Amino acid sequence: MPGPRAPRPNRPVPDSASASAAASADVTLAYAVEQTVSLWTDMTSRGQISPQTNRSFGQLLGRYQHYAQSRGALALDDTTADLAEDFVFAHGRTRHGRIGASATATLHQRRAVLRSFYRTLRELGLTDTDPTRDILLPERTRTPIRPLDEDEAVALRHAAEYVARPSRHAAAAALALSGGHTGEIGHIRIPRP
């Protein structure tokens, strides 16, 4: 099953690839990121991408810009396939604050953001290259999905409801037990009266 598609603008691709290549020699990485984020924000306002995707793609693109600039890549032409690959495979912090290898899902997300970035730049006519084209990643791990059995559901409900101090755990457990997906639960908002 194919994964989600990266955002694509409704703007035409320039007619001349050579004009695009010549233009990229003068483009700074900061300008390219600014133009891309601006276009993605415009696409969000038109409902072409979600605000959550825009926010996460923008944050990761900002990290890529910082990463590249700290390694001397100030112009768009300075960003190489090796630099992009180094960024995708860069170590990060675990949820316990330790530095370690990034999870496979993180690697895939970083590459997806960079692919979308360079596709957007090609469509804007700012470059004709894609340094992410040949980045190979490990397969995503697939664990069998199964519903909770009755004993597990009771244990989950008990752990969420019977706590000394109420928290969001009971609401998250109720949403999960009613069929909410883990990726959706954190984004559910209930309007207050």
Domain final residue pick, 107, 124, 141: 124
Q: Are residue 60 and residue 117 in the same domain, yes or no?
A: yes
Q: Are residue 29 and residue 113 in the same domain, yes or no?
A: yes
Count of alpha carbons within 13 angstroms of residue 10, beta-carbon side: 7
Q: Find the largest Cα–Cα distance for the chain.
A: 67
- What pLDDT digit, counting tens, does each position of 88-106 carry? 999 998 878 899 999 999 9
Its domain, for residue 163, covers 150-185
Q: Are residue 102 and residue 175 in the same domain, yes or no?
A: no
Q: Are residue 93 and residue 169 in the same domain, yes or no?
A: no
1 is a domain residue: no
How far is it, in rounded angstroms, from Cα 76 to Cα 134? 18
- What pLDDT digit, counting tens, does each position of 70-86 carry? 999 999 999 999 999 99
Local confidence band at 48 (pLDDT 50, 70, 90 cut-offs): very high
The residue among 9 and 22 whose pLDDT is bigger is 9
Domain count along the chain:
2
- Tell me what pLDDT residue 154 has: 86
Which of 3-12, 144-153, 157-166, 173-182 bottoms out in mean pLDDT, i.e. has the lowest? 3-12
Question: Using the 8-state DSSP alphabet, how is residue 28 labeled?
Answer: B
